[in-house]
Amino acid sequence: MITTVPGNAKIYINGEYVGQTPYKHKDSKIVGSSNTIRVEKEGYETYNDTFSKDEKVAVGPLIGGIFLLVPFLWIMKYEKGRIYDLRPVEEN
């Protein structure tokens, strides 16, 4: 789950607009895959970040991988949530 303070910010993942916050991100990428994220809201600084599928162990694929090996490609997952505090643009 991607959340921002304040809410209703635009979310771009890997350069593609995907929606507004709060936004639930899902994908079927394998271990080590990275995503770039850009968060935009009028009157606030644009926030850029990256996150990778190597943040947390997924128990189901770990157990399955012991027997089949292939699920080891999906043994890691993302953290459950990300919160971005947006900063207002400073006016001169």
Closest CA relative to residue 49, chosen from 74, 68, 25: 25
| 23 belongs to a structural domain | yes
| 61 belongs to a structural domain | yes
In terms of pTM, does the model score above 0.75? Answer: no
pLDDT score at 51: 84
Q: How many domains does the chain contain in total?
A: 1
pLDDT in tens, 61-84: 555 555 555 555 555 556 678 888
| 68 belongs to a structural domain | yes
User: Residue 58 corresponds to which amino acid?
Assistant: A
| 36 belongs to a structural domain | yes
Q: What is d(CA 25, CA 91) in angstroms, rounded to the nearest whole number?
A: 33
pLDDT score at 83: 85
Domain extent at residue 44: 2-85
Return the higher-pLDDT residue of 37 and 91: 37
- Residue 18 backbone dihedrals phi, psi, to 5 degrees: -120, -15
| 92 belongs to a structural domain | no
| 91 belongs to a structural domain | no
